[in-house]
Amino acid sequence: MKTLKKTFITMLIIGATLFLFRGGLFRFMVSYENSGTGMSYQATSSDLIKYLDENGSTQLNIDQIIVTSLDLTADKLRFTADANDNNPNDLITTETAHCVGYATFCATACNYLLRQNSLNDTWKAQAHKGQLYVFGKNVHQFFDSPFFKDHDFVIIENTTTGATIAVDPSVYDYLWVEKVTLR
């Protein structure tokens, strides 16, 4: 009985540690190589604008805008491997997307909030295509399906300093990892 109790406590401690440090562990294990920009959209749908206005906020700094954009994306979309539209103005009603739709929705939400907070002259969010590397090994080479030929994520860039912040909205939806590492 004591062994079972010790095993349970050990597993609980390991699980809690992995949960608490998931972002750092993910960034240590996984990196993203940018291979080009994806589609870019403006929020034009009244449904999308209403959603962003009701759930966004003003007087946010860049980090708060990024997290809000990730939250709005995760709250609205459900992941699917099915072919679907990637335009956030349509995704607001279909509510299902794969990594491309997640990236375009998040970038559109981020750019909208940047404008609302008067940071759009300094910061810009853009969906990007790239490759995932786990412990330095490109994982896309292990898949034959065209679905896994690349992965979409978002880079938020300071247009004045060139500083970048990379996020993966589909990973955030499942693992709550806010930032990712670029190669």
Residue whose structure tokens are 């609205």? 76
Mean pLDDT, contiguous 10-residue spans, the chain (183 residues)? 77 75 83 90 96 91 97 96 90 95 97 96 97 92 76 96 97 93 94
Looking at residue 82, the DSSP 8-state letter turns out to be S
Decide: 77 and 105 in contact? Cβ < 8 Å.
yes
> Shortest CA distance to 85 belongs to which of 52, 48, 114?
48
Rg over alpha carbons for the chain, rounded to the nearest Å, is 18
Please state the domain extents for the chain: 31-182
Q: How far apart are CA 50 and CA 155, in angstroms?
A: 24
**pLDDT for the residue numbered 65:** 97
**pLDDT for the residue numbered 58:** 83
Q: How far apart are CA 181 and CA 183, in angstroms?
A: 7
Q: How far apart are CA 148 and CA 161, in angstroms?
A: 33
The two three-digit tokens of residue 71, written as one number: 């939250």
The 3-state DSSP class for residue 85 equals coil
Decide: 107 and 148 in contact? Cβ < 8 Å.
no
The two three-digit tokens of residue 86, written as one number: 């990637």
CATH level 3 topology of 31-182: C8orf32 fold (3.10.620)
**pLDDT for the residue numbered 147:** 66
Which H or E run contains 123?
Answer: strand 123-134
**pLDDT for the residue numbered 144:** 75
> Shortest CA distance to 175 belongs to which of 24, 14, 11, 12?
24
Measured distance between the N- and C-terminal CA atoms of the chain, rounded to whole angstroms: 48
Task: Using the CB atoms, write b or e for 135-161: b if 16+ within 10 Å.
Answer: eeeeeeeeeeeeeeebbbbbbbbeeee
pTM score of the predicted model: 0.88
Q: How far apart are CA 183 and CA 180, in angstroms?
A: 10
**pLDDT for the residue numbered 93:** 95
